[in-house]
Amino acid sequence: MSTNEKLARAMDSLPLPDSAELSRALAEANVQTLLAAYAHLSRDFALLDRFAPHIKPAFSGEITVIPDDLAEELRGKMRHLLTTGEGLHKDAPSDALIQRIMSVTVGEAVEDEFIDAVFDQCGFRPWIDRSQVEGRRKPPANFKVLVIGAGLTGMAAATKLREAGYDYVVIEKNSDVGGTWYENRYPGVGVDTPSHFYSFSWEIWPDWTHYHPQGADMQRYMLAVADKYKLRENMRFGTAVETLVYDDKSGTWTVTVRNPDGSHEDIVANAVINGHGPVNRFRWPDIPGLNDFDGPVVHTANWPADLDVTGKRVAVIGTGASSAQLVGAIAPKVASLNVYQRTKHWVLSNPEIADDVSEGMKWALTHIPTYLEWFRFRVYWNAADGLFSNVLKDPEWEGNSLAVSAANEGIRQYALSHLHARMADRPDIIEKLTPDFPIFSKRIILDNGWLDALARDNVHLETGGIARILPNGVEGKDGTFYECDIIVCATGFNVAKMIGNLTIKGVGGRDLGEEWGEDDARSYMGMCIPGYPNYFHTVGPNSAPNHAAGQNMISECQVNWIIEALDRIVEADAKAFEVKQDAYDAWNRKVEERMPEMIWTHPGANSYYNNSKGRVFLSWPWRLVDFFTETRRPAEGSYDLHK
């Protein structure tokens, strides 16, 4: 069922009974979102205008205070519309009206450039359903696409390839879908991106239990999507891709996979979409003696299902996002916990990160037409491109060197105030945790019990570094020794080596592993490399939305672009699509020219966004809406079609 059909069916469900569930939903629903849904359904411009002076932008420093009587009037009007159907408009509103609703309900102008992206991503008008495009040439039956990985991007590719009529197979090394969320199961694992945005635009979910999903919530969503869209029919589990070799003459890839029984098999495909993701290959720390420890040594990304830390003495190496989530979850259970900090990180308070979605809110998301779509828009605006100003250097900024703009300094002060308030009686921890670089120049931590855990008597934060691991514990560089039962490495992933352990041979035997080396991956739009026709590397170099939420949107956009590229092959009776060298070169120059304007090139910034030479190889230096616009179709003149 298309999104438009879903909305039409929701409209047809009206009128609703005047029930206790409706009353609770109206009481608990977000007021601005309720206003958006009401204006969409009723075209009540007068009420929209009366709300406008009270709604302020999320990061303006001003507070939105909606008068109680105005909010109650809205609830009353919405109740009347929903229970009687009087004043309901079932026809689709104009773009101008949608834009007006958007601008009022987020308290700032939403410009024309956002309209197509919002319509697509929030489910009002999906960008394209290729099965419904009149005159589009259908892919031939013998044109096969192989997708590597059944995580977020691989599932998006499977859904849209099927919709577009392509024969495809997904190769997944795990026993089910989910990727990151199948593998990461450590206590406290969660998602920074708000639930109602971190999902597919064609399957916006009302069933989240938390406003920021825990890992199990995310995997539950992925499983539900796989079931609904019957994605497993074209998936092979327990199978790992090892080698990809391009044949110049046939324009095909021979993909060697290792089957569950250990045997090897060659699969010939016309095109390959690599969706194995950069946060898939976890990294162990290089610490002397790590392999000599007598107890369990585990990585957060490979947490044993039977590991019980209750009453144990635990050492956690690392203080990034995974560590913060884990420490917040296990600190009350362990006997003692030493946390070894290698790098400081900014910590932001998000009051709703641990909040459950109330029953009334769930009811509103499920039963009030357009409410779900409008709530997704609100989350996108405030958690994604609304944060972009934080990572863009202001050349006129004359403030301190720990910020790059007034907006960035405002967020920095907000983070500092949270740290000082939480640790008011622990100046020692404040000193240990306060970074000396701008906020957002590295990945931030959302506080979900992290600071509270560090303030506990059974938790100690070590900042002096580790000298070595002994069979019974951890020795610090200052000579201190911590005897422990379990060592947990929260030390991240080898993001920079983007092809992982794959061997990829292109035209004339070119070797992508040799060309990219250990950490110098480059591509066109995070997807294509000259010399590797019909090989599409998703979530590749300079395509990560490191300013905010949005990896789901990046994945969808790349899948859209790739299918457009495949359609060019079909339309031209060609064998292969290859990005031109000059387009590739121009794109990389554009990125390099842009990076000095971004926070990630600040002298204090050095993170996994940078390679060993300091180049920012990971981050997309523009907004999400810009990525959406750039990926509607391959630019004319940027590619060759080989026949």
Whole-angstrom distance, CA of residue 543 vs CA of residue 550: 11
- pLDDT one-digit tens code per residue, 192-223: 889 999 999 999 999 999 999 889 999 999 99
- Average pLDDT, integer, range 85-95: 90
Q: Give residue 78's pLDDT band: very low, low, confident or very high (50, 70, 90).
A: very high
**Residue 281: its pLDDT value, please?**
86
Judged by average pLDDT, the poorest of 12-21, 64-73, 241-250, 473-482 is: 12-21
Tell whether 80 and 106 lie within a shared domain.
Answer: yes
Say yes or no: 511 and 559 in one domain: yes
* Per-residue confidence (pLDDT) for residue 6, from 0 to 100: 67
- Identify the CATH number of the domain in which residue 332 sits: 3.50.50.60
DSSP bridge partners of 392: 598
Same structural domain, 554 and 458: no
Q: Is 133 part of any domain?
A: no
Q: Does residue 474 lie in a domain region?
A: yes
Are the beta carbons of 70 and 50 closer than 8 angstroms?
Answer: yes
Question: Considering the domain boundaries, does residue 643 fall inside one?
Answer: no
What is the per-residue pLDDT for 5?
65
Q: 580 lies in a domain?
A: yes
How does pLDDT run across 589-617, given as a tens digit for each residue?
999 999 999 999 999 999 999 999 999 99
Domain-located, residue 12: yes
Question: pLDDT for 494-518, tens place per residue?
Answer: 999 999 999 999 999 999 999 999 9
State whether 267 and 178 are in the same domain: yes
The domain tally of the chain equals 3
Task: Return the bridge partners of 486, or none.
Answer: 314
**Mean predicted confidence (pLDDT) in 346-368:** 91
Give the whole-angstrom CA distance, residue 166 versus residue 559.
13
Is the predicted pLDDT of residue 394 greater than 90, yes or no? yes
Asked if 453 and 279 count as a contact pair (C-beta separation under 8 A), the reply is no
pLDDT of residue 59: 79
For residue 110, what pLDDT is reported? 93
Residue 393 within any structural domain of the chain: no
Number of Cβ atoms within 10 Å of the Cβ of 227: 11
Q: Are residues 453 and 581 in the same domain?
A: no
Shared-domain flag, residues 474 and 327: yes
In this structure, the answer to whether residues 13 and 49 fall within a common structural domain is yes
Is there a single domain that holds both residue 477 and residue 562?
no
pTM tops 0.85, yes or no: yes
108 in the same domain as 153: no
Inside any domain, residue 641: no
**Structural domain boundaries enclosing 570:** 141-281+495-635
Same domain, 500 and 630: yes
How far is it, in rounded angstroms, from Cα 464 to Cα 101? 53
CB distance 397 to 403 below 8 Å: yes
Q: 109 and 164 share a domain?
A: no
Q: Confidence class of residue 42 from pLDDT cuts 50, 70 and 90?
A: very high
Give a yes or no: residue 642 inside a domain: no
Provide the pLDDT confidence category of residue 368 given band limits of 50, 70 and 90. Answer: very high
* 99 in the same domain as 178: no
Residue with tokens 């110049």, as numbered in its chain? 248
What 8-state DSSP symbol labels residue 511? B
Q: Where among 461, 489, 517 does a domain terminate?
A: 489
Q: What percent of the chain has pLDDT over 90?
A: 90
